[in-house]
Structure 1
Amino acid sequence: MSVSLQVIYPITKGTEFDFDYYLGTHMPLVAEHMGPHIDRTLVTRGLAGGPDMPPGHFAVATMVFADAAAMDAAMRASGPVMADVANFTNVQPQILVGEVIA
């Protein structure tokens, strides 16, 4: 059964997010260290929170794994990825691990 890991970067007062660094440096680190265990990755940049509403999140990164064992292997390799977060944002990311059902 496929599982997903979503890393959610909420926007709150005083938070910042460097998309150039995130896409140019951080995501290549994800690919290098965790990529061998990831089936697919999707990064969504927040544009709006609804009609005429500002976005509530800078971005959501979704990684899909074949199973929990693959996700566990990716997490064991994620040290350099986790250490890099402070280089592009001061946001405390939210994490959602889920079962892919559709």
Structure 2
Amino acid sequence: MAMTVQVIYPTGEGKTFDYDYYVETHLPMVGKVMGPHGLADAMVTKGLAGGPDAPPGYFAVATLMFPDEAAMKAGLGAAGPLLEDIPNFTNVQPDMLIGTTL
């Protein structure tokens, strides 16, 4: 069964997010680090709004797709360099959601 990991970066007072660094440096790093462990695909949604006339509640949501649980666990097991890179583009502690596709 296909698995997903979503990394969710909430907005808030005093929180920052460098989209240029994220797109140009961090995302390619995700492919290099997790690709050999079974990362099948990845996509990022940039937060634009939280509804009509409402600011976004999230800077971004990254969705990482793996073919199965073993690949996901291998990818997460290799994620150390990615976690160490987070302070280079945000001061946010991201949330995670691990799930399966329906």
**Same fold, TM-score > 0.5, yes or no:** yes
Letter in 2 for 1:89: T
Deviations 1:34-81 (A, max 9, x none): 123111111000000001111110000000110110001111211111
Moved over 6 A (4+): none
What amino acid does structure 2 have at the position aligned with 1:29? Answer: M
Q: Whole-Å Cα distance in 1 between the matches of residues 71 and 85 of structure 2? A: 22
Q: Tell me the residue number matched to 1:47.
A: 48
Alignment partners' CA distance in 1, 2:44 and 2:35: 14
Which stretch shifts more, 33-42 or 13-22? 33-42
% identical equivalent positions: 54
1:13 maps to what in 2?
13
What residue number does 1:59 align with?
Answer: 60
User: RMSD over aligned Cα, in angstroms?
Assistant: 0.7
* Structure 1 segment 15-34 matched on structure 2, within 5 A: 15-34=15-34
TM-score, normalising length: structure 2:
0.96
Give the residue type in structure 2 aligned to 1:26.
H
- Letter of the 1:25 partner, please give it: T
Count, aligned residues: 101
What TM-score does the superposition give when structure 1 sets the normalisation length? 0.96
Paired AA for residue 10 in structure 2: P
1:20 to partner: Cα distance? 0.4
16-25 vs 70-79, greater mean Cα deviation? 70-79
